[in-house]
Amino acid sequence: MAKKKAKKNVYSFGGGKAQGSAKMKNLLGGKGANLAEMSGLGVPVPPGFTITTDVCTHFMKMKGKYPMGLTKEVDLAVKKVEKLMKKGFGDPDNPLLVSVRSGARQSMPGMMETVLNVGLTTETIKGLIRKTGNERFVWDAYRRLITMYSDVVMEKSAGIEPKEGKGIRHQLEHELDKLKKKRRVKQDTELTAEDLKTLCVTYKKTVKKVLKKNFPDDAMAQLWGGITAVFRSWNGKRAISYRKIEGIPHEWGTAVNVQTMVFGNTGENSATGVAFSRNPATGENKFYGEWLINAQGEDVVAGIRTPQSLTEATKTPETRHLPSLEKANPKVFRQLSRIRAKLERHYRDMQDLEFTIEEGTLYMLQTRVGKRNGVAAIRMAVEMAKEGLISKKEAVMRVKPEQLDELLHPMIDPHAEKKAAKLASGLPAGPGGATGQAVFTADDAEAWAKKGRKVVLVRDETSPEDVHGMHPAEAILTATGGMTSHAALVARGWGKCCIVGCAALQIDTPKRRMTVGGRTVKEGDWITLNGTKGNVYQGSLTLLPADPDTNKPYKQLMKWADSFRKLGVRTNADTPEDAALARRFGAQGIGLTRTEHMFFGPDRILAMRQMILADDEKSRRKALAKLLPYQKKDFMGILKAMKGLPVTIRTLDPPLHEFLPHDDKSQKKVAKSLRIPVKKLKEKVQSLHELNPMLGHRGCRLGVTYPEITEMQVRAIMEAACALAKKKIKVFPEIMIPLIGTKAELTDQKNVAVRVAEEVLKKHKVRVDYKVGTMIEIPRAALTADKVAEAAEFFSFGTNDLTQMTFGYSRDDVGKFLPGYIEAGILPKDPFQSIDEGGVGQLVETAVKRGRATRKDLKIGICGEHGGDPASVDFCHRTGLNYVSCSPFRVPIARFSAAQAALR
Ligand code: PEP
Ligand code: MG
């Protein structure tokens, strides 16, 4: 019998060859797949191997056991590396050192563990010193190994949870600080070989004392300790919370990459750096990055030293005095630039690169598609399409609809900013303006935000452990760290306002305060950030909404998007100002005007209340007559703002009690102004009281009971339309009846509407194209859409009510249990935000099918909140709707989502 071939668990790369490729991201993780791909492309990558994500899944399922034969595979892979490097792992004369890193399918910056310099032992240290002749470098590498290994493998991975500030890493760093003080030096680099050697002895003693275990002195034991710790870190606290926020499935698992160490810290001829093939903050096609001489990779991201600019052109005031790589080592810079071009062309996208220079030789450690903010994403997509690197369609698909939001982001009012008290400045890591109350820990940020407060999270260096507090914060501010620090990367991914490396801040976290420029900012004090410039201000400054009109790449991208999309995009607007704003954002009409909002105006609420309090039709009509001119004026404003485009106006929808005062004091006041006894008002309020007002006397039911209300509204609409038509302004009013459940309800209201409309048209002797249609927001209306369509000239899905009635969840009370449902996985997402395709969606599909069976050209739209949600827009496209309608600020996002839906 043929033996089943064992599953391959380990994939080698290096020496211009690789067993894996970029296509194997699911199995090798993003990092592993790209290392294999780079190696295959002939880019200088230190050799190594990747242990698959399947091993991680197995490891988790089998409670920490590895698949059979893994040890043998790893041994073989190590041998391959040894051969390529002509070194031996654990070889006292010519030792090979490796790094052990995580790498999931989707990048999770800093959320999992890394151990560097694995393979350094008492024996190999001696060999390495002999070989390199650089004693200082070797002891420096060893103290880094002890720090990382004891923290990651011996403490975190072992499940030890020390108190804040008592962790082994912290205690070791304390020893380092003590030594620096004793030697009167500021930088680690100023410590001598002898200093570091002594420090390593202290470190090992501290490890023994704190963790009750000896630091392992065997290369293979270190390697397996590292591998296991990285696998375990997949289920670490911060990795789990990051996955929750980003929606990454827990079952994916991480791969482990074991790779030859190359050193950026062997002396002044070595360096390490991070680079982006284009600027990730602006999108500009300029090589952008940071590097540090005589340092290891972690130094750049940890933000302990200020990194140097890669190029002369991208220097900042903070880095002006430091040499760029372009100047310091033109040869290596040219090689790096060639690799930049090669990788960007190969991957056809902006790359985030990590490199190390060891004694003048360049090595690429990583490449991946770089995170970018919305502004940059748009610019890159458009420029890459113009350069011919990608197609226009790809350009549109490259940008996430939510990223447009950033362009629509608020900015600080420039007048207010001019006069504001500037506290400090730092690196502009995330654009836009934001204001909030200062908090100094991630936990506080989370707790304050939960209470509905706007907060700015202020930290010395934002560690990945802070993710849960960074997410709900309005903005993030740090004292140290560069543009490529973890925090900056994470914030950029979210499009959050962020300033890093703001060195003037002196933060006292335990006391919850900071001093800056001679001032003290305490917890709860308001500060404002300009993330585009990197300025921090005292107090809360006014923010202005963003103006995308001035952004050329945005306009170009939207033009392309519009050429692809099939769905129309309208807006929900109740005022001429909103209508005009939406039109500027590209709205092609109004999908919903909620007329009830107009009745709250101070000039007319009295007449509205008189109408509600009227005892008979005659006095009701009298009050309605007072309302008519106001409504007419409103409609004229809106129809004019939307001239040439359709405007859907809905007749009165909410229950009448919403217009009356409910507390004693206001009742007295209103009764007085209406000149009626307060008793009468109270009685009316009482009689309008309903147990389930959302299911009560509202929507078309009001119009059926009081046809004179519908009459007045239709008259106002048509009078407005005629007045404009006479001035040769093209208007297309669409009268929409809300909350119908039967065809008869619609017919009743339509008869009123058509009678009045024709009357008005006849009086003015003009022709106005008008339509009468209905909202579909009651399940029964959806199910009987074939009948409803006999009377309706258009449908518009009111998916707010439709969701409410399909789920039986009260729209107004859902907050009490819905978050719990989502947390527990009972619902995948909030169905009031993103349409529930499986349930509510079926009703929509049914109504579309049945409605069009009756009336082939039935115009159908959606005006619930879902109209601005990308996933729901996609659904509307697939279901064959004619348009979506959403709030003005969502219009660009809806247009863009509709284009992506069409391209999908
Ligand atoms: C709806 O129900 O979806 C709708 C648009 O109407 P409203 O939100 O005003 O009830
Ligand atoms: Mg509704």
The pLDDT tens digits for 328-374 are 999 999 999 999 999 999 999 999 999 999 989 999 988 888 988 88
Percent of the chain with pLDDT over 70: 97
Neighbours of 580 (CB within 10 A): 18
- Which ligand gives the minimal distance to the CA of 835? 1
Ligand 1 contacts CB of residue 73 (under 6 A): no
Q: Dihedral (C-alpha) 802, 807, 808, 811: value to the nearest 10 degrees? A: -60
Query: Given this model, what pLDDT does residue 405 score?
Result: 74
Two tokens at 409? 């982001």
Determine the atom of ligand 1 nearest the C-alpha atom of 798.
3
Of 653, 799, 801, 803, the residue with max ligand 1 atoms within 8 A of its CB, to mutate for a pocket test, comes to 801
Q: Which secondary-structure segment (H or E) carries 756?
A: helix 743-764
List pLDDT tens digits, range 551-573: 899 999 999 999 999 999 999 99
List pLDDT tens digits, range 670-688: 999 999 999 999 999 999 9
Query: Ligand 1 centroid vs 783 CA: distance in angstroms?
Result: 18
Higher pLDDT, 759 or 605: 759
Question: Distance between CA 87 and CA 605 in Å, rounded?
Answer: 86
Sign of CA dihedral 524, 530, 534, 539: negative
Going by pLDDT thresholds of 50, 70 and 90, the confidence category of residue 697 is: very high
Q: Alpha helix locations (H) across 794-855?
A: 799-807, 818-823, 840-854
pLDDT of 28 higher than 80: yes
Percent of the chain with pLDDT over 90: 74
Going by pLDDT thresholds of 50, 70 and 90, the confidence category of residue 265 is: confident
Ligand 1 contacts CB of residue 592 (under 6 A): yes
pLDDT of 1 higher than 60: no
List pLDDT tens digits, range 112-170: 989 999 999 999 999 999 988 889 989 999 999 999 999 999 999 998 988 888 999 99
- Which ligand gives the minimal distance to the CA of 740? 2
Tokens 């790094």, residue located? 99
Query: Given this model, what pLDDT does residue 548 score?
Result: 75
Q: What is the pTM of this model?
A: 0.76
Task: For residue 863, indicate whether it is catalytic.
Answer: yes
Going by pLDDT thresholds of 50, 70 and 90, the confidence category of residue 822 is: confident
What is the mean predicted confidence (pLDDT) over 57-67? 95
Ligand 1 contacts CB of residue 864 (under 6 A): yes
- Options 486, 657, 866, 877, the catalytic residue: 486
Query: Given this model, what pLDDT does residue 6 score?
Result: 79
Q: Are 532 and 545 in contact (CB under 8 A)?
A: no
CA angle 62, 63, 67 (to 5 degrees): 40
pLDDT of 3 higher than 60: no
pLDDT of 663 higher than 90: no
Query: Given this model, what pLDDT does residue 136 score?
Result: 92
Q: Which of 106, 347, 149 is nearest to 242 (CA)?
A: 106
What is the mean predicted confidence (pLDDT) over 700-721? 98
Atom 8 in ligand 1: residue holding the nearest Cα: 800
What is the mean predicted confidence (pLDDT) over 756-769? 97
> What are the CB-based long-range contacts (under 8 Å, 24+) for 576-584?
576/637, 576/638, 576/640, 576/641, 578/888, 579/637, 579/638, 579/641, 579/642, 579/647, 580/641, 581/888, 582/888, 582/891, 583/641, 583/642, 583/645, 584/549
pLDDT of 4 higher than 70: no
Task: For residue 486, indicate whether it is catalytic.
Answer: yes
Query: Given this model, what pLDDT does residue 302 score?
Result: 65
